[in-house]
Amino acid sequence: MKMTAKLNDFQRIPACNFTFIIPLYYSFKDNNNLYLVMEYAIGGDLFTLLRHMKQFSNEMVKFYSAQVLLAFEYLHYLTIIYRDLKPENLLIHSNGFIKLTDLGFAKLLPKHKRTWTLCGTPDYMAPEIILNKGYHNSVDWWAFGILLYEMTTGYPPFMHYDQMKTFELIIIGDIKFTNHFNPLLKDLIMNLIQIDLSRRYGNLKNGIYDIKNHDYFKDLNWLQLYQLNIEPPYKPLYNNNNNDLQEINHFDYDNEINFNIAEKEQFDNSFDDF
């Protein structure tokens, strides 16, 4: 990733101190690299788990999506739009809960402002991004609907080997549902993957509460979830006897690089405000 994107990451993560967002512990740099030391999520990412399981149960979809919903509620309260939701950016903690990571595309955007940047993962891009119409956090709610669909089926609703064809499918917005879809989940997805912004959940007068109060989440205790007092439907298996350091001997090493002192600091002005 470009240095500018990582600087964005570096600037925003410290401000995001939330249960379901990966924390930044340390940061340091040399003349060539910026290093971000974050929490280790031993369960890997949700994408890997989804590919292994093919598709998630309704219980898992509800459990994981509710945590993303709370993370978005927090970010949007800080007027930060995320813009890069996908299973690869959801890390599984040892306790079975997930944490949102990679704020490289996140943007601090006041409520009355709009942005026109074309960014994100093609399968998850909202129509207003593709059509260069200018957008705010509505794009996160579109992506949230895509995530719900992919966790349920194992694949996103709009996909094609040709990226331009993918964009065409997104702009058309015709969603195909299989028979095994939970009716309440289907209704929620249809209100999220909504081309008309005046009808998209999360973007209406009630904001996020149209989603949190939807019947799909009716049996979920949001406070218990935030306090991590809900039993996760899946917990990663790992050895908890501090033998992880022994695995270092099995890692591949690159050839050692001899560092030289640069005549001039390459990023001298990059951290003036930190």
Is 6 inside a domain boundary?
no
Is 98 inside a domain boundary?
yes
**Band (25; pLDDT cuts 50, 70, 90):** confident
Please provide the average confidence, as pLDDT, over all residues in the chain.
88
Is 243 inside a domain boundary?
no
pLDDT at res. 53: 97
Closest CA to 98 of 225, 11, 201: 225
Is 7 inside a domain boundary?
no
pLDDT at res. 226: 98
Q: State the CATH number of the domain containing residue 70.
A: 1.10.510.10
221 has pLDDT over 80: yes
The domain total for the chain is 1
pLDDT at res. 134: 93
Mean pLDDT of 200-223: 97
3 has pLDDT over 90: no
Is 8 inside a domain boundary?
no
Is 272 inside a domain boundary?
no
Structural domain range at position 156: 43-226
pLDDT at res. 254: 65
11 has pLDDT over 50: yes
**Band (203; pLDDT cuts 50, 70, 90):** very high
Is 258 inside a domain boundary?
no
**Band (166; pLDDT cuts 50, 70, 90):** very high
Q: 257-267: string of b/e by CB count within 10 Å (b at 16+)?
A: eeeeeeeeeee
Q: What is the separation of C-alpha 232 from the centre of its chain, rounded to a whole number of angstroms?
A: 19
pLDDT digits (tens, 9 = 90+) for 242-255: 455 555 555 666 66
pLDDT at res. 130: 97
Is 78 inside a domain boundary?
yes
pLDDT at res. 274: 42
Burial of 213 (0-12, 13-18, 19+ CB in 10 A): exposed
Q: Kindly state the tokens that stand for 263.
A: 């005549």
Q: Catalytic residues, which ones?
A: 84
